[in-house]
Amino acid sequence: EEIIKLLAVDLGASSGRVMLGTYAGGIVAVEEIRRFPNGPVEADGQLYWDVQKLFQEMKQGILAAVKSHGPLQSISVDTWGVDYGFLDAEGELLYSPHHYRDQRMEGIALALETALPPEEQFRLTGNQSSPINTVYQLFADLQANPELTQNAKQLLMMPDLFNYMFSGTAVAEQTIWSTSGLLTPDSSAPSGEVLRRLELPAELIPRLVPAGTIIGELRPGLQEELGSGPLKVIAGASHDTASAVASIPYGLGGSTGGEGSAAFISCGTWSLVGLETAEPVLSAGACTYGFTNESCFGGTNRLLKNITGLWLLQETQRGWAEAGEPLSHQEAAELAEGLDRSAARIAVLDPNDPLFSTPGDMPMRIESYCIRTGQPVPQTRAEIIRTILESLAQSYAGTIRELEALTGRPVSCIHMVGGGIQNKLLCQLTADATGKEIIAGPVEASAIGNVLVQLTALGAIEVPEARAVVARSCAPVRYQPALFTIHSDQGGQV
Ligand code: LFR
């Protein structure tokens, strides 16, 4: 039987991966070919992404994959949301794209929100206002450099930019553009009203295409350099969250079942908590609670909230490692045991408190948060980690309750996907805090979603079939709320 092989490039804010995807006998699998670090690069006091270095890394990955597994059929890049670069009249990148944690939007947020208040942004675009959104960044760029209106010919979101560098074709893929704050709520077109009110040039936005569009082939020069042959370049569900959600094997559990009542939590640096709906949810409640609407592969809507996720733990562990005291296996094991002994909760943090949003000394910030809110301060490292995970679980639970209130329907079960679900303690605490069954998997959600969307574009599977393929291919792990569990099997990974 035919084996289809292709490449999924999944670029995250802290690392990127070139993954080989294979599809044979109705089963999809991914294998890591190359992993490389990513992060902000500072220049003149501003934060950027090193696009050229990332592109070189991706090319190395393709080269390695072709050597070991060639021939391959296609490639597609997915990345985090909101960031972008400009092309000039020659189709060259004007300068390296800014990082969303750059602070240049600070000075202009007020001017933007005077012209377009947050509630209006929500009504016109379905997006929750946030200074990291493309619309804020673009407004800031044009204020700071008015000559951009002459020099910049096209604005390419990060995955569109890499797919362009591979193929020479510039498009605006819908799922990534649905994070921009510039499209109508159904992501079918730029919002004319937003562009007018903020005097943003509409010509910058390329042709919108749906996720799963074959946009071309690898440039001839690259085919030669990499020995790859005519790889197809596909605009997939190029927002990593859209790819992750495309991999969810709905229909596996829950008392009531059905897609509408299953929620998801995509766990990485960010936690994205939400559910899929047929249409964008633009109610006042959705806006006040802080939800956003983004577009899914296949044209449905994703109602979700961005929660500062495992960033809290990553920053904490980074600090300890930098101080020469990385977390030991024993401490990790003690933690898991602490859960079995049903250790009492120490304190609960709001992960989205601005205190935690920038790099720095997390344990110290946790301490000052607890003092400010009149809670006991976690003392040991186990207690600190436990507090972070418990706080994430509590904030997931609050968000799930808000989703139930907004949709008027109970959530029957929660699918947790992404690298963060390797943390079994987090999954169990989430089951306990929500009182819902957790169905965890796949871990490689973005990469698998990326592969699935390519498979549909290549005609190898039908869109409605995609989730069943995942259900067959990866066995999910189930977690029941503690109340109903006599014995549970907690691993020691943190
Ligand atoms: C997750 C993610 C979120 C987006 C955030 C910033 O990786 O893509 O969906 O809100 O990064 O772009």
Over the stretch 85-113, which tens digit does the pLDDT of each residue have? 999 999 999 999 999 989 999 999 999 99
Q: Quick check: 243 and 78 in contact, CB under 8 A?
A: yes
Q: How far is the CA of 379 from the centre of ligand 1 (A)?
A: 32
Q: What is the dihedral of CA 314, 315, 317, 322, to 10 degrees?
A: 130
Q: Say which amino acid occupies 492.
A: G
C-alpha separations of 407 from 281, 305, 329 in Å: 9, 14, 42
Centre of ligand 1 to C-alpha 132, Å, is 10
CA–CA separation, 261 and 366 (whole Å): 34
What pLDDT was estimated at residue 357? Answer: 85
Atom of ligand 1 nearest to the CA of 294: 9
How far, in Å, CA of 50 to CA of 40, rounded?
A: 8
The one-letter amino acid at 362: M
Dist. CA 12 → ligand 1 center (Å): 9
- Classify residue 303 as left (phi > 0), alpha (psi -120 to 50) or beta: beta
Here the tokens at position 447 are 């990469």
Positive or negative CA dihedral for 250, 254, 255, 261?
A: negative
Q: Is 74 in the pocket of ligand 1 (CB under 6 A)?
A: no
φ/ψ of 363, rounded to 5, equals -55, -40
Q: What is the pLDDT of residue 337?
A: 67
Percent of the chain as helix, strand, coil, to the nearest 5: 40, 20, 40
Q: Residue 185: which H helix or E strand, with range?
A: none
User: Atom 6, ligand 1: which residue's CA is nearest?
Assistant: 81
- Residue 144: predicted pLDDT: 96
The phi, psi pair for 163, rounded to 5°, reads -60, -35
Q: Which residues contact 82 (CB under 8 A, 6 or more apart)?
A: 100, 132, 133, 134, 137, 157, 179, 180
Low-confidence ranges of the chain (pLDDT < 50): 254-260, 484-494
Please, are residues 275 and 252 in contact by the beta-carbon 8 Å criterion? no
- What pLDDT, on the 0 to 100 scale, is given for residue 380? 87
Cα-based angle 172, 175, 178 (whole degrees, multiple of 5): 85
Ligand 1 atom 10: residue of nearest CA: 81
3-class DSSP assignment, residue 375: coil
Predicted local distance difference test score (pLDDT) of residue 412? 92
Residue of 14, 177, 302, 306 with the most ligand 1 atoms within 8 Å of its CB, for mutation: 306
Among 180, 241, 269, which is best to mutate for testing ligand 1, by the most ligand atoms less than 8 A from CB?
241
Q: What's the pTM?
A: 0.93
Where is 439: in which H helix or E strand?
Answer: strand 437-440
Give residue 195's pLDDT.
98
